[in-house]
Structure 1
Amino acid sequence: MRLSPVFLLSATDVAHFPAESKTFGAPEIAFLGRSNVGKSSLINALLGSKQAHTSSTPGRTRAINFFALHEGAGEKMKQRPTMIFADLPGYGYAKISKSISAEWPKFIEPYLSERETLALAICLVDTNIPPQPSDKQLIDYFKQTQRPYLVVGTKGDRLSNNVLAKSIATLKREHGVDEVLAVSAKTDVGTKALWARLLAVTE
């Protein structure tokens, strides 16, 4: 399925979130991860365009950026989107703050805990580094709140198959999850499998 992305808005307050009347209650997919985990690069790879701003400076994204994904173009773009991507600010960058709760603006938690149209949270973890406590904190949050989530391992192209397999096994063990889907924004490895999971929430 080919989806056409349209930037909706940047939200820095609960009042800024897209109204259901504008998105027709389309399911939302939230992308979360540590600063420089490759979140914006993965979103751009999935969309096939440079919609999400990428930066080498950790912590650059300070708002939730919403993108509507439509089938087709033209008049169809005025109809209900197939889904909404929500690109959330990165966390865990020491120069900004020491914890998720302290760093993230007050509108992040209400979005994750109260947003009725949030259908799936994509928790991004870096396969090139050891499991991070801040990632575990986020994953534990979704376990406790029973919000649907999927852990995705980024930058898989930088590791050999054997090393990647060991990294994924370690991430699964340390974060207490049954699955970590390895992807690469650079080579598109794993993106088709990820798309299948995203489209499943629209069914």
Structure 2
Amino acid sequence: MKLTPKFLLSAMAPEHFPTEAKTNHAPEVAFLGRSNVGKSSLLNKLVGAATAKVSSTPGRTRAINFFALHEGAKAMPSIVFADLPGYGYAKISKSISAEWPKFIEPYINEREELALCLCLVDTNIPPQESDTMLIEALRDMGRPHLVVGTKADRLSNNQLGKSVAALKKAHGEDRILTVSSKSDAGIKALWTEIYGVLEA
């Protein structure tokens, strides 16, 4: 299935989330993770276009950015990607950080269209407590999620194996899918998971 990406809207409040008129209740896949984990780069790799803005400065994404993926010339999207602001970056002002729960938590907790949460974790650094907190929160909410280890191309197979084992143990996960936005590693497997949402 060939999907064409199109920027839909940015939301900083629940009332800004896409309506049925824009998406016809298409399933949504959320990209979550620490600032600079590679959310926007992965999203662009998946859709094959520079759809999401990529910044070298962590914490640039401050709204939930929605991208509609259309099949052919269909008016309504088959699926919607939601690129959420990163967390865990100390230099972001407290005033902005304080605003995030007002629209991020309602999106994750209450959004009916949200079908899958992709929790991105960096395979190059030790497991982070903030990632564990997010994953545990998703479990508590009963949200389907998949932990995705980014930047896998930077490690040897042996190093990657050790990193994944540590991440599984820290986050209490049986499975972590490793990917690389540079080498394409794991991208097909991730698409398989995303297509599974359409078939559910």
* Coarse TM-score class (shorter-chain normalised): over 0.9
Match of 2:172 among 172, 176, 181: 176
Give the letter aligned to residue 10 of structure 1: S
Corresponding residue for residue 27 of structure 1:
27
Give the letter aligned to residue 28 of structure 1: E
Matches within 5 A, 1:32-43: 32-43=32-43
1:103 positional shift: 6.6
1:72 positional shift: 1.3
Match of 1:196 among 181, 192, 199: 192
Once the two structures are superposed, what CA deviation does each residue of 1:137-158 show, in whole Å capped at 9, x if it has no partner?
Answer: 1001011111100000000000
Aligned mates of 1:36, 1:5 — CA distance in 2: 22
Tell me the secondary structure at the aligned position of residue 117 of structure 2. strand
1:89 positional shift: 0.3
Corresponding residue for residue 63 of structure 1:
63
1:97 positional shift: 6.3
Aligned mates of 1:18, 1:62 — CA distance in 2: 17
Give the letter aligned to residue 202 of structure 1: L
Aligned mates of 1:140, 1:197 — CA distance in 2: 20
Give the letter aligned to residue 165 of structure 1: G
Corresponding residue for residue 112 of structure 1:
108
Aligned mates of 2:92, 2:101 — CA distance in 1: 12
Matches within 5 A, 1:1-203: 1-73=1-73, 76=74, 78=75, 80-96=76-92, 102=98, 104-203=100-199
> Residues 27 and 183 from structure 1, CA distance in 2 versus in 1: closer, same or farther, beyond 3 angstroms?
same
Aligned mates of 1:21, 1:200 — CA distance in 2: 24
Aligned mates of 1:52, 1:86 — CA distance in 2: 10
Contact 1:91 1:104 in 2 (8 A): no
Identity of aligned residues (%): 69
Which stretches of structure 1, 4 residues or longer, exceed 2 Å deviation after superposition?
101-105
Give the letter aligned to residue 8 of structure 1: L
1:104 positional shift: 2.4
1:26 positional shift: 0.2
1:2 positional shift: 1.3
Tell me the secondary structure at the aligned position of residue 102 of structure 2. coil
> Residues 128 and 83 from structure 1, CA distance in 2 versus in 1: closer, same or farther, beyond 3 angstroms?
same
Aligned length in residues? 197
Structure 2: which 5+ runs fail to align? none
Structure 1: which 5+ runs fail to align? none
* TM norm structure 2: 0.95
Aligned mates of 2:102, 2:57 — CA distance in 1: 22
Q: In angstroms, what is the RMSD of aligned CA positions?
A: 1.3
Once the two structures are superposed, what CA deviation does each residue of 1:57-100 show, in whole Å capped at 9, x if it has no partner?
Answer: 11100000000001113xx2x1x3110000000000012268xx
Aligned mates of 1:189, 1:103 — CA distance in 2: 35
